[in-house]
Structure 1
């Protein structure tokens, strides 16, 4: 039976959402099963570091990539950087023999007729002969800037179910593109003696083992040769705070708390790449001074929860 992965962000993550509704429309007798990974709160430039891990876990036959709903258009990154995400995705599909298609869903703050991201996705699919589905207009379908109301869920689900009737296209090796290597190091696999303290964060098809750091505690890791440190994943929630990290020469701070930390969620941060051999990370005692949007702040001791070090490496060449 074909395994189809819907790979997206907070819109895909909603449960039950349009993916589950599409599964009902397809029915139990279909020759396919739908899986989803919805990285709510993250962006495509975070996802590319986690892609290999996700594909190892799900092992899909087909990917429907839903990358147009996150808010990264507004974050000041150059549009050309998104080409690196698309290249990482198509290269992985070519290497693993996975069929690929793109699904673009609307935002109220985006005009699909002039949006660079919609245009880039459409051109990417046309250039590579990939199926492309776009629902450009969210009029009457959204309950906020991007998340669908009940009618929107029904429209998205019907469109996805119909889209899945189209023939699959698997990118060949000739479609691979030179791009930097984006990877992730599981902190839990490199810090011994913590097996009984590890916890698993799991939501919307994605799970990651978290390594705890109590106040004043320090953990140290070696960064693989040839790779630069460029980011982190971590748990954000009522007891998160600030983690200090250093290579022994320069101290920096990773803020793992914001106004939404009245609940737990996966967080990620990208930094400018640094060529460090090692990294040490310490949980600071400081209580956050950021007010929550709802609820009362937890003033108990801070506990850091670290998922990955995000890394990047040299650009490979293809003959």
Structure 2
């Protein structure tokens, strides 16, 4: 099997740096696929599997959003610095830096799918298609569904979560263990978690600046600036071929993702029956095949 080459670099973004990695040949003539990771405040690592799409002939670009991973960290910036507009500007800057703004595809996972949807709704001339993977539309609905899923957990897990949330002690060992119990059901059902997934969680723990500012202490306690955010109004403006990916046990439940199906014109969908929030690792081969097939028919 031929080894697909990759290269890394940094895109200057004002006085900051955005780290990126290209898997495949940007000069090969095929439309590149840009991967937008989740969070806000995660890293590229846990969506590293999408590099497999390059085997289908499409160059794949991963990057760490500002404040995360290998990009510039800014732990002293106030929460008000971290905005959706900032990350939209960073994406535009990366596209220009790589010289692909006239022809590219996007795949956004979780928060990345929200970011990608807002970008697509602006109808940039170079965007050819969009993949929305495991993403919410409305953070209020996301929280309601997360709390519904919590009520299905064992009573002792629920009690531990509630006890520490009442005092704001989100770092207690038994609280973190209870959080992980939820994650093992609705975020990644593989046991053990893949190393690249663990790597992202470790990096968020090491510098949670962006995650805490925009999300909160965990996936089901949203206290950050995105708490009341909805992208529903922009979805009808998306005018490129679109694909929605979700997992049967996803924390992005059917109710969470339904507005994409209702509001994005002509959107296709794929549900992975043995996955939760990360079908790209939980059902890696099937997920990559679905994405490559979509690109083949859309580009």
- Normalising by structure 1, report the TM-score: 0.26
Q: Which has the higher helix share?
A: 2
The structure having more radius of gyration, on CA atoms, is 1
Per the normalisation by structure 2, the TM-score is 0.27
